């Protein structure tokens, strides 16, 4: 299988001793592969287990210090994949990190609400947390070259950036994989919660969201369309976000009388999943949602770039009651940066309204011509 170099591979001391190294991220994003690659460089005695293993669940979930240390003390690295499947795993990990300060302890999870709830209290001050996304365009640009990314951007708009998708040889194989991912893995963590019995309403909700990319989402409208309570819609949205399927973006305002702030927009972590949800993999030239696809991928790739390069930013959209709007606003170090994410546009009416409202801010249109530089240099103007 082809390997894609990940950003974390270059980070010194990514795996720390004396802490539980938590790695979150969507299913099939490459968490296990990344950890195994990093461990290849460790000339150490490694224990590697998964939360699906009943014997490991029995040991780490026991809270029995003698049992846990008796079986795991002699390893220099302890790696627990899908750790959220182990009840009370946080207390087991606490026993390990408190008693084995020279051991590298790693736990991965594809469900932030499951694993974080398990490890939150026991590991306070004892953990470091990182998030792994599907492949980032900045990772591909470094490995393949910028021109290759530019030439294949329409493929990424349709099929996304999951590692396995990038390796498949043709469109039909990519579509089959994404449909399998949607049907078999997408809701696995959510459906394991006792209070959610099937995925029908979740899929219906995602279908509605897939046609509202770049627009504010009304909980009342979603509630009416789905025939479920507004509170249930809100809960489902929260669960979908914590399972790394969608990402929320709130509104920006410094003038509450003119600007909308109570609504949110939602983007999909991966374009391929979005297209699988609506079963539409038509080429960009024959579809009317190319603007949504572009806005979705650019937003998520920007989030990846800011995260990996440790550029700390508060992110919003901007919209006024009289329909003036900005796709993405970044607030960094006291400065405002406004971005319109347009497939091919070179001009925008938004610029005047945005700069009139915030004269000290900057404004840029991100299109096919400049997106790579914008992602590679998140602190610089393109």
Query: How much is the average pLDDT of 280-301?
Result: 96
Q: How far apart are CA 53 and CA 70, in angstroms?
A: 18
**pLDDT exceeds cutoff 60 at 101:** yes
Q: What is the pLDDT of residues 330-360, one digit of tens each?
A: 999 999 999 999 998 788 888 899 999 899 9
* Mean of the per-residue pLDDT values of the chain: 90
Q: What is the pLDDT of residues 115-129, one digit of tens each?
A: 666 676 778 888 899
The radius of gyration computed from the CA coordinates of the chain, to the nearest angstrom, equals 22
What is the reported pLDDT for 93? 92
Q: CB of 325 within 8 A of CB of 350?
A: yes
Q: What is the pLDDT of residues 367-376, one digit of tens each?
A: 999 999 999 9
The dihedral built from the CA positions of residue 276, 281, 287 and 293, taken in this order, carries a sign that is positive
Q: How far apart are CA 84 and CA 180, in angstroms?
A: 22
What is the reported pLDDT for 257? 63
Q: How far apart are CA 298 and CA 303, in angstroms?
A: 9
Query: How much is the average pLDDT of 123-150?
Result: 94
Q: What is the pLDDT of residues 70-98, one digit of tens each?
A: 999 999 999 999 888 888 888 999 999 99
pLDDT band at 296 (very low <50, low <70, confident <90, very high): very high
pTM beyond 0.85: the answer is yes
What is the reported pLDDT for 293? 97
Tokens of 165: 């998708």
**pLDDT exceeds cutoff 60 at 285:** yes
Please report, rounded to a whole number, the percentage of residues in the chain having pLDDT higher than 70: 93
Q: Are strands 127-131 and 104-109 parallel, antiparallel or unpaired?
A: unpaired
What is the reported pLDDT for 205? 95
Helix pair angle (230-242, 112-119), 10° resolution: 80
Please, what are the domains in the chain? 7-131 (3.40.50.300), 137-376 (1.10.10.10)
Query: How much is the average pLDDT of 33-53?
Result: 91
Query: How much is the average pLDDT of 259-285?
Result: 91
Please report, rounded to a whole number, the percentage of residues in the chain having pLDDT higher than 90: 71
What is the reported pLDDT for 332? 94
**pLDDT exceeds cutoff 90 at 206:** yes
Q: What is the pLDDT of residues 144-198, one digit of tens each?
A: 999 999 999 999 999 999 999 999 999 999 999 999 998 887 777 777 765 676 6
For the chain, what percentages of helix, strand and coil (3-state, to nearest 5) are there? Answer: 45, 15, 40
């Amino acid at each position: 299988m082809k390997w894609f170099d990940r950003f974390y591979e270059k980070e010194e001391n990514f795996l720390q001793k004396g802490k539980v190294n938590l790695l979150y991220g969507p299913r099939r994003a490459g968490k296990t592969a990344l950890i195994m690659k990093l461990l290849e460089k460790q000339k150490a005695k490694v224990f590697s287990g998964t939360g699906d293993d009943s014997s490991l669940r029995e040991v780490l979930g026991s809270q029995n210090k003698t049992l846990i240390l008796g079986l795991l003390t002699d390893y220099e690295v302890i790696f627990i994949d899908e750790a959220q499947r182990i009840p009370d795993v946080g207390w087991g990990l606490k026993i390990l990190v408190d008693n084995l300060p020279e051991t590298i302890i790693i736990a991965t999870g594809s469900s932030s609400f499951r694993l974080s709830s398990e490890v939150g209290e026991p590991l306070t001050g004892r953990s470091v947390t990182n998030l792994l996304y599907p492949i980032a365009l900045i990772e591909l640009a470094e490995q393949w070259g910028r021109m290759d990314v530019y030439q294949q951007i329409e493929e990424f708009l349709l099929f996304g950036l999951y590692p396995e998708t990038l390796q498949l040889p043709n469109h039909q194989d990519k579509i089959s994989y994404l449909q399998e991912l949607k049907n078999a893995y997408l809701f696995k963590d959510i459906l394991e919660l006792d209070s959610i019995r099937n995925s029908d309403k979740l899929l219906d909700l995602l279908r509605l969201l897939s046609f509202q990319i770049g627009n504010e989402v009304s909980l009342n409208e979603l509630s009416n369309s789905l025939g479920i309570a507004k509170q249930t819609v809100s809960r489902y949205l929260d669960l979908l976000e914590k399972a790394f399927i969608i990402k929320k973006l709130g509104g920006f305002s410094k003038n509450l009388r003119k600007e909308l702030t109570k609504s949110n927009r939602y983007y999909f972590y991966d374009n391929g999943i979005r297209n699988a949800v609506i079963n539409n993999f038509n080429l960009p030239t024959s579809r009317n949602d190319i603007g949504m696809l572009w806005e979705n991928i650019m937003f998520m790739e920007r989030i990846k770039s800011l995260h990996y390069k440790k550029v700390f930013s508060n992110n919003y959209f901007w919209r006024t009651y009289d329909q003036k709007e900005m796709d993405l606003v970044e607030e960094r170090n006291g400065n405002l940066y406004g971005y319109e994410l347009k497939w091919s546009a070179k001009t925008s009416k938004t610029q005047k309204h945005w700069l009139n409202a915030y004269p000290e801010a900057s404004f840029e249109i991100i299109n096919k011509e400049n997106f790579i530089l914008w992602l590679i240099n998140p602190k610089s103007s393109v």
